[in-house]
A = this chain, B = another copy of it.
């Protein structure tokens, strides 16, 4: 059995966290492929190493004296090295490496930022490998280049190239534990290129898919994924297991535990993922799997996201007008507006757009075009909407979930502006006023989970 084990920023923030991580790794022979983030925050007001590296890049890019910024970065690693009694030689190498990167890329800003930001993970991986060796483990630092992570040459937005997977597969054959920095790959021209949001999770997912591991363990600082935002509900229900699809629906509506695109490589290979807590590894964690046995509650989680606009169009006999919908979507495409959903009735169609994608000027133009080109009876815009998602694979097969959910909303006095539940879907979506979104979430949570807790 082989596992890829990824540790997030807070899990590798200082020497004490390194000790926990090492203990977790050493606990199982299978934890052979290790992906580490850059040192994260040690306390609420702390600054992440990646942000210190951005400050360093800012100074270097402006050709200012960057000594203070460089020193701040080095101090973060110094604290780790000293706490673990690692050879100070590592720090000298680290400093030389950072200066070398600045000199190489000072004139090419996108690459400068990418190279320096990637150093956060890269240097931390070296320290982790050194620490495991010091503990007597057979451990190796493996650079993304050595691992075979060849990516597109698009700074800040790298995509893995399909050819990488063949090379990554060979990592399985190597002996010892391999420590790989997250967050970046290497382009065909040999440059460091970072991934978009969710970077280290992406690395873990790619390594997991390439090496066809049995499990992708993702260590962070929570015991499990909660069924609802814990800032809204006290001690919410913890999920033991959820499917990729459930995770996707929740991620869409604002659950931030996992970036859904990051998981794509393992989803395609149906490799299970486990979210665990570095600070409490004995907790069972939450498994994200392709299919799960239906047991317990049909609903697994409730999420909400604000900031939506609905463009509502009405025209008598719309559904008999061939090509109406396509024309409407075409107008949006031509105006460069991406949309979220298009709930449609017989003679009406709504287009749900995220507020940030529709400025006043674009809105005006779109409304004019709809009126003129489609000769509609009515077109109007509804603002400050929230989407509330009730998610669970069991819902499609359980009678009464919709009744329970809508009754909870009615009793709380929430006006449901939209409902969308498609055939064989794993979620039910409610559109409500943004001002009522939190109330909607807590009412739904209490209705769906109250009994489970008692």
Contacts and interface: CB of A to CB of B under 8 A. Distances in A.
A349 interface: yes
Contacts of A421: 343, 416, 418-420
A319 interface: yes
Nearest to A323: B333
Given A399-B414, A416-B402, A317 B248 contact: yes
Nearest to A346: B252
Interface stretch (A61-69, A103-111, A366-374, A424-432): A424-432
26 contacts: A245-B314, A248-B317, A249-B346, A310-B423, A312-B424, A322-B338, A326-B329, A343-B343, A343-B423, A344-B422, A346-B427, A350-B422, A399-B409, A399-B413, A400-B406, A400-B410, A402-B402, A402-B409, A402-B410, A402-B416, A403-B407, A405-B406, A418-B421, A419-B420, A420-B420, A423-B431
Contacts of A345: 249, 341, 420, 422, 425-427, 429
Top 6 A-B pairs ranked by shortest CB distance? A400-B410, A403-B410, A403-B406, A343-B422, A402-B406, A419-B421
Given A249-B346, A342-B342, A427-B345, A325 B317 contact: no
A50 to B, nearest CB: 25
A260 interface: yes
Interface in A241-285: 244-245, 248-249, 252, 260-261, 264, 267-268
A396 interface: yes
A347 B245 contact: yes
A249 to B, nearest CB: 5
Given A338-B322, A402-B406, A403-B403, A316 B264 contact: yes
Nearest to A310: B423
Interface in A215-235: none
A408 B115 CA distance: 61
A310 to B, nearest CB: 5
A319 B417 CA distance: 22
Q: How many copies does the complex hold?
A: 2
A340 interface: yes
Contacts of A420: 343-345, 419-421
A423 B382 contact: yes
A130 to B, nearest CB: 38
A320 interface: yes
A410 B406 CA distance: 12
Contacts of A410: 399-400, 402-404
A415 interface: yes
B319 A340 contact: yes
Interface SS of chain A: helix, strand, loop or mixed? mixed
Highest count of chain B CB atoms <10 Å: which of A260, A268, A397: A260
B399 A403 contact: no
A423 B418 contact: yes
Contacts of A346: 248-249, 252, 427
B350 A423 contact: yes
A348 interface: yes
A84 to B, nearest CB: 40
A261 B413 CA distance: 38
A422 B385 CA distance: 13
Given A396-B417, A420-B420, 19 more contacts: A245-B316, A245-B347, A248-B316, A248-B347, A325-B342, A341-B345, A342-B342, A343-B420, A345-B420, A348-B422, A350-B422, A382-B424, A399-B410, A402-B406, A402-B416, A403-B407, A403-B411, A418-B421, A418-B423
A423 B312 contact: yes
B422 A349 contact: yes
A326 B407 CA distance: 35
A340 B349 CA distance: 12
Interface string A179-203: 0000000000000000000000000
A194 to B, nearest CB: 19
A417 B423 contact: yes
A320 B317 CA distance: 31
A396 B382 CA distance: 13
Nearest to A427: B345
Contacts of A322: 338
Most chain B beta-carbon contacts within 10 A, residue among A312, A418, A429? A418
B325 A329 contact: yes
